[in-house]
Amino acid sequence: MELGFIGLGKMGMNMVTRLRRDQHRVVVYDRSADLVSQATTHGCIPASSLADLTAQLNAPRAVWCMVPAGAPTEETIRALGTLLKSGDTIIDGGNTNFHDDVRRADELKGKGIAYLDAGTSGGVWGLEAGYCLMVGGDKAAVERLAPVFTTLTPENGWAHMGAVGSGHYVKMVHNGIEYSMMQGYAEGFELMSKSDYRLDLPRIADLWMQGSVVRSWLLELAAGALKENPKLDHLKGFVQDSGEGRWMIADAIEKGVPVPTLASALFTRFRSRQDDSFAEKMLAALRNAFGGHAVKR
Amino acid sequence: MELGFIGLGKMGMNMVTRLRRDQHRVVVYDRSADLVSQATTHGCIPASSLADLTAQLNAPRAVWCMVPAGAPTEETIRALGTLLKSGDTIIDGGNTNFHDDVRRADELKGKGIAYLDAGTSGGVWGLEAGYCLMVGGDKAAVERLAPVFTTLTPENGWAHMGAVGSGHYVKMVHNGIEYSMMQGYAEGFELMSKSDYRLDLPRIADLWMQGSVVRSWLLELAAGALKENPKLDHLKGFVQDSGEGRWMIADAIEKGVPVPTLASALFTRFRSRQDDSFAEKMLAALRNAFGGHAVKR
Amino acid sequence: MELGFIGLGKMGMNMVTRLRRDQHRVVVYDRSADLVSQATTHGCIPASSLADLTAQLNAPRAVWCMVPAGAPTEETIRALGTLLKSGDTIIDGGNTNFHDDVRRADELKGKGIAYLDAGTSGGVWGLEAGYCLMVGGDKAAVERLAPVFTTLTPENGWAHMGAVGSGHYVKMVHNGIEYSMMQGYAEGFELMSKSDYRLDLPRIADLWMQGSVVRSWLLELAAGALKENPKLDHLKGFVQDSGEGRWMIADAIEKGVPVPTLASALFTRFRSRQDDSFAEKMLAALRNAFGGHAVKR
Amino acid sequence: MELGFIGLGKMGMNMVTRLRRDQHRVVVYDRSADLVSQATTHGCIPASSLADLTAQLNAPRAVWCMVPAGAPTEETIRALGTLLKSGDTIIDGGNTNFHDDVRRADELKGKGIAYLDAGTSGGVWGLEAGYCLMVGGDKAAVERLAPVFTTLTPENGWAHMGAVGSGHYVKMVHNGIEYSMMQGYAEGFELMSKSDYRLDLPRIADLWMQGSVVRSWLLELAAGALKENPKLDHLKGFVQDSGEGRWMIADAIEKGVPVPTLASALFTRFRSRQDDSFAEKMLAALRNAFGGHAVKR
């Protein structure tokens, strides 16, 4: 079918490449003319602006937005809201907070524009393996886009989660779980890295892929990363987070659900980004104050 | 090759079944004559006692011990120590603490008996898929047993981890990671179970198996369990632990390694087994004491 | 000096009682005429409505709002905004989120009405001991109200924290710390309650008040509560939270500050309010799925 | 009364000073002749060896051991076991694990020597304020030593906890609670240190001492430390732990008691002592592996 596609970053470029393999007609736009030009090598049709992109599509139009979450997505969707018409559909495939989805869908509903949220998992590997897509929003619009979803995903790799926002909601929980799993592996491998047994970490990661209870795709990636550098000594332990973990904690707090491993995982990331911890200094100061324990200066 | 096998519980019976498929000569013993008799239907040779078992094996003998960790394993291995001779090998395939392995191997070394520790993962699914085996101990003894390990495991599914105890050490860490992963999924699915979106949890678990970052074998099992009963309302949330998580925390504390998600996961299990929490009563009592906040009686 | 006072609950009634001891002129209103009437026994002047209350005060007027946080406070302050005039001051002494303070102060500024936020700690004991007051907002308004703050607090018991919202911000952090401290005591006393030493918990709480590092006012309250009932078996471990802990986590997440004990303390409260944990059921289901471990039904 | 005292470090010297104020006869020994000589200025009687110390005491003798926990205490008590006679008493005032108390008391019982464990809290402030003493062991021996305990403590500042080991057990829990409280304050003050309100932290710590729910002795110390250096920028956040927190977690795990804030507090200390976290590197490596997210090298 036909799709407008905005945002040709790492994820976006891979997605349009995959869409072209199935011969969809894809009109693309990105702020970078270079990236647009690169997409044309996959058979995409270039657009020079959002207006140009929407003009090159046939009604009912569908436009996939794959730009960074937050302001860039917000602005893009606001602009599309003025360019599109009743019957058209916007799909936000980025990492949007589900509360924003609900608000936007509500705003666009007045104009008859459908808004779908597509939580997208799979990272840089999605080009070959396909992405896992969790889709929220109006059922009819979801069905209209089914050919696109099917192309982007492995077999049975997409599903309609429910009302608008539910796709990003499920993706948010997915990412929260991802944090816990990553942290679990990280704790285990750190401990093994300190063992007197001088364990062969990449070998163990590989071995666990064969029939163990902890086998997973993340473990497969861990095996690869450890093979490249078993001590990881080329890396700084500086770990970003992209928002979903935070939102999941906010939602868990709202619902009164304990999420201790998610919180631990997120706090570990926060700590990894501190050069210097005021809290830890305060602990040292207190120990000194009551016990005269030595402090490092 | 030839192997003595002690302990025909859930794990043990599956393992001898698998060993017989590859035509190994397996002499079996269990306290339950019924289980011994059941094993003979797979072609195992019955033994009526440990002495009988060791008498039916040819030197150098190898005996696999697959009985509950703790006292049962301790007693079995002590008894084998008096029945076996120099050149023989004992393999402990249970959930033994690696410190015990080191002590036992040391005791048996004086008699020339080799002691191997085989951390075994895969649960009830190992019969078909093969187990993941992490083996520690003397290298020559490990190599002698290679045909047995190969039969029990999927391709590349076993490896020599290092000195005695290292097999169970790596298995301990494996289980600790397993706790964190399980807890991560549990937090995520609980949150989704409370969502107004009325999410289809089994469908989501299934979907995530298709290309998502959190795909894993545990998730596959989760999908199965949720399909059977999406609300899990046939279950009590009473969660046992088998020791490895505790030992991993002890080891992490000894080495000064933070393991926050493992600890959270273990404490969740503890809490699940309390009908009544003194700590929570005390919190209620304190809130009442300073703020006059109502308490439930 | 003169003060309007709205909200005669547990906290409010104690505060007006204390204000009357210092001969302040206090005009009171509460939705409950009974409470208003009760306050008059302390020499307060009754008002039959917010309008009546503001009418009985002399410019520049000051009105203290001590009603439940959230909607009741919001509505009261909105109403006061229409009744008060330029030069008047509203003090919110409740448990308001500091973001709401900032918004309200901004709205009222246009009318020339000052808005102060007074974080109030001390609970039911404040009547005798005085409250600890953390005050945020316009400095001149704070100084005008100094006589009221001085009456309500012990010596040096109030201070101007900074711009509007800072009083409730510091109070929020105060409560978050309170959660961690309470949880620390609760963990320790639960452990001791399970000791084979058959420890005398109220005696220990008392003892620790004499020169130990953990002596505190909360411990003094714990000693009292344990003396009344050493096993706390008259209580349900059902623990509410009043919002500040949640907001502090939200703020910590925004600033990237790890708050692991606060999060643990809050999650313990959440768990205490669950009869039944989906997460724990899922753990049981997963253990059953991979290991055939028995579940309770 | 009369007391032998071994170990004249920070704690020991303060304790003998306090004992001399009440005119007890105190015979002292330390490996450092300088410290022994310093103690004589307080009226202590010097001993040149353990044998010399025991020789200068009258039966039934009592010897207080105040040397570092672990090997130094173990060796001292073993030596005393050969020097003392039936009817004598050893008091271990150090930070001993209660399991060691039980073992030692058992060994000494055969010789008729009583062994008491005295958990001691109060730090460097005990000299003036008195220590809080939690005493375990034989009741008759405890009563014999009462005059010593009374001198060392503030009013009602010591108590008999129960059988041998109970004193150190309660002290262990005391320290675990101390960790949680310290961590709670540390989290709160770190958050406030990052606030746009530019909060005056020493002022807040002081203010909270006046009637707030979180007032405590640790907070008083925090106020002092923050006054000296509000940003704590003269300190490294390197935080030691002295064992009790670890033992309390081990005991909690044995008893199945959740201690999430204690564990968080201990892990924060571990992390504070790492220059470099393998776990955090692994998280960075995994994010890079699945998402192509940038890493720092």
Residue C75 among the catalytic residues: no
What pLDDT sits at residue A64?
98
Contact C30, C36 (CB under 8 A): yes
C122-160 in b/e form (b: 16+ CB < 10 A) is bbebbbeebbbbbbbbbeebbebbeebbbbbbbeebbbb
What are the residue ranges spanned by the domains of chain D? 2-164, 171-274
Q: What percent of chain D shows pLDDT beyond 70? A: 100
pLDDT of residue B200: 98
Q: What average pLDDT does the segment D63-73 reach?
A: 97
Q: Residue C293: pLDDT above 90?
A: no
Distance of CA A270 to the CA centre of its chain: 19
pLDDT band of residue A7 (cuts 50, 70, 90) is very high
Q: Is C196 exposed, middle or buried (0-12, 13-18, 19+ CB in 10 A)?
A: exposed
Helices B244-255 and A166-193, interaxial angle, to 10°?
Answer: 60
pLDDT digits (tens, 9 = 90+) for D7-16: 999 999 999 9
> DSSP letter string over A98-149?
HHHHHHHHHHHHTTT-EEEEEEEE-GGGHHHH--EEEEES-HHHHHHTHHHH
The residue with tokens 């796709």 is: A167
Interface probe, candidates D11, D121, D133, D181, chain C, greatest C C-beta count within 10 A: D181
Residue A292 has pLDDT above 90, yes or no: no
- Whose CA is closest to C224, among D134, B283, B286? B286
User: Residue A260: its chain D contacts at CB < 8 A?
Assistant: 260
Chain segment A144-201, per-residue pLDDT in tens: 999 999 999 999 999 999 999 999 999 999 999 999 999 999 999 999 999 999 999 9
CB–CB of B31/B55 below 8 Å?
no
**Which pLDDT band holds residue D291 (cuts at 50, 70, 90)?**
confident
User: Please, which pLDDT band fits residue D292 given cuts at 50, 70 and 90?
Assistant: confident
pLDDT of residue D124: 86
Shortest Cα distance from D53 to chain B (angstroms)? 36
Q: What percent of chain B is modeled with pLDDT above 90?
A: 95
Q: Which of D244, D270, D283 best probes binding to B when mutated, by most B CB atoms within 10 angstroms? A: D270
Distance CA B174, CA B159 (A): 14
The mean of the pLDDT values for chain B is 97
Q: Which pLDDT score, from 0 to 100, does residue A14 have?
A: 97
Report the C-alpha gap between D145 and D151 in whole angstroms.
Answer: 10
Q: C192: burial class by Cβ within 10 Å (0-12, 13-18, 19+)?
A: buried
A121 C-beta neighbours (distance < 10 Å), count: 25
Chains that touch C (3 or more CB pairs under 8 A): A, B, D
Mean pLDDT in residue range D35-59:
98
Rg (Cα) of chain A, in Å, rounded?
A: 23
Q: Which of C253, C266, C290 sits opposite A213 (nearest CB)?
A: C290
Interface of D with A in 174-193 (CB under 8 A): 182-183, 185-187, 189-190, 193
Is D154 part of the contact surface with chain C (CB cutoff 8 Å)? yes
Backbone angles phi, psi at D153, to 5 degrees: -115, 160
In a mutagenesis test of the D interface, which of B241, B253, B283 is the best target, namely the one with the most D β-carbons within 10 Å?
A: B253
CA-wise closest residue to A262 among B184, B288, D269: B184
Average pLDDT for B9-38:
97
Tokens of A295: 């402090």
Q: In sequence order, what are the residues at sequence separation of 6 or more whose Cβ sits closer than 8 angstroms to the Cβ of residue B294?
A: B288
Beta bridge partners of B63: B4, B90
pLDDT of residue A213: 96
- How confident is the model at residue A293, as a pLDDT? 81
> Which chain B positions have a beta carbon within 8 Å of A212's beta carbon?
121-122, 132, 174
Collapsing DSSP to helix, strand or coil, A81 comes out as helix
Residue B32 pairs in a beta bridge with none
Do B2-164 and B171-274 come out as alike in CATH topology? no
Helix (H) / strand (E) element for B28: namely strand B25-29
Chain A (211-240) residues lying within 8 Å, Cβ to Cβ, of chain B:
211-219
* HSE toward the beta carbon, residue C134, CA cutoff 13 A: 36
Residue D104 CA to residue D97 CA, distance in Å, equals: 11
The label of the residue with tokens 């020559």 reads: B140
Q: Could you say which DSSP state residue C121 is in?
A: E
At B285, give phi and psi (nearest 5°).
-65, -40
Provide the mean pLDDT of chain C: 97
SS (H, E, C) C11-23: HHHHHHHHHHHCC
Q: Is the CB of residue B80 less than 8 Å from the CB of residue B52?
A: no
Q: Is the pLDDT of residue C35 over 90?
A: yes
Helix (H, G, I), strand (E, B) or coil at B121: strand
End-to-end CA distance of chain C: 66
- The predicted pLDDT at position D13 comes to 97
In whole angstroms, give the CA distance from residue C140 to residue C114: 9
Residue A263: partners with Cβ closer than 8 Å, 6 or more residues away = A249, C260, C263, C264, C267
pLDDT of residue C291: 85
Nearest to B181 by CA among A172, A185, A293: A185
Greatest Cα-to-Cα distance within chain B, rounded to the nearest angstrom: 77
Residue D244 known to be catalytic: no
Q: What's the Cα-to-Cα distance from B272 to each of B282, C272, D264, rounded to whole Å?
A: 18, 11, 20
Q: Which tokens sit at A190? A: 């750190």
Rounded Cα distance between D199 and D203, Å, is 9
What is the band of D109 on the pLDDT scale with cuts at 50, 70, 90? very high
pLDDT for residue C43: 98
Q: Using one digit for the tens of pLDDT, what is the confidence trace for B200-238?
A: 999 999 999 999 999 999 999 999 999 999 999 999 999
Question: If you search the block for the tokens 């304020």, which residue do you land on?
Answer: D129
- Can you identify the CATH homologous superfamily of domain A171-274? N-(1-d-carboxylethyl)-l-norvaline Dehydrogenase; domain 2 (1.10.1040.10)
**B88, B61 Cβ separation under 8 angstroms:** yes
Dump pLDDT digits (tens) for C110-126: 999 999 999 999 888 99
Query: In terms of Cα–Cα distance, which of B224, B239, B261, A166 is closest to C278?
Result: B239
pLDDT for residue D211:
94
**For residue C294, what pLDDT is reported?**
78
Decide if pLDDT at B297 tops 90. Answer: no
Q: Active-site residues of A: which are they?
A: 171, 178
DSSP class of residue A216 equals B
Q: Which helix (H) or strand (E) holds C28?
A: strand C25-29
Residues of chain A neighbouring C264 (CB-CB closer than 8 A): 260, 263
Is D183's CB within 8 Å of A283's CB?
yes
pLDDT at site A124: 86
Q: Do A76 and A8 meet the contact criterion of CB atoms below 8 Å apart?
A: no
User: Could you tell me which CATH class the domain A2-164 is placed in?
Assistant: alpha beta
Q: Where are the alpha helices (DSSP H) in chain B?
A: 10-21, 33-40, 50-55, 71-83, 98-109, 126-129, 139-144, 146-152, 166-193, 201-208, 217-228, 244-255, 260-272, 278-291
B281 closest CA partner among D161, C220, D262, C228 = C228
Residue D146 identity (one-letter amino acid): A
Cβ separation C256–A273 shorter than 8 A: yes
Tokens of A72: 């860039």
> What is the phi/psi pair of residue B65, to 5°?
-105, 115
Q: CA C227, CA C223: separation in Å to the nearest integer? A: 6
Tell me the pLDDT tens digit for each residue of B152-191: 999 999 999 999 999 999 999 999 999 999 999 999 999 9
Planar angle of CA A117, A118, A120, nearest 5 degrees: 145
For residues D88-103, give the mean pLDDT: 97
Picking from B188, B211, B212, B214, the residue whose alpha carbon sits closest to that of residue B201 is B188
pLDDT band at residue C295 under the 50/70/90 scheme: confident
Q: What ipTM, to 2 d.p.?
A: 0.96
Instruction: State the Cα–Cα distance between residues A6 and A73, nearest whole angstrom.
Output: 10
Using a 10 angstrom Cβ sphere, with 0-12 exposed, 13-18 middle and 19 or more buried, the burial of residue B199 is buried
pLDDT per residue over C64-117, tens digit each? Answer: 999 999 999 999 999 999 999 999 999 999 999 999 999 999 999 999 999 999
Q: Does D292 touch chain B (CB under 8 A)?
A: no
Tens of pLDDT, residues B52-69: 999 999 999 999 999 999
pLDDT at residue number A123: 85
Residue A260 preceded by cis peptide, ω within 30: no
Q: Worst-scoring range by mean pLDDT, A69-78, A237-246, A272-281, B122-131?
A: B122-131
Bigger pLDDT: A295 vs D88: D88
CB C40 within 8 A of CB C11: no
Name all chains with 3 or more CB-CB pairs below 8 Å to chain D.
A, B, C
Region B40-56: mean pLDDT is: 98
Q: What are the tens digits of pLDDT across the range A205-258? A: 999 999 999 999 999 999 999 999 999 999 999 999 989 999 999 999 999 999
Left, alpha or beta for C244 (phi > 0: left; psi -120 to 50: alpha)?
alpha
Within 13 Å, how many C-alpha atoms sit on residue B49's CB side?
5
Confidence check: pLDDT of D297 > 90: no
Cβ of residue B111 closer than 8 Å to a chain D Cβ: no
Contact A259 C267 (CB under 8 A): yes
What angle do helix axes B244-255 and B260-272 make, rounded to 10 degrees? 140
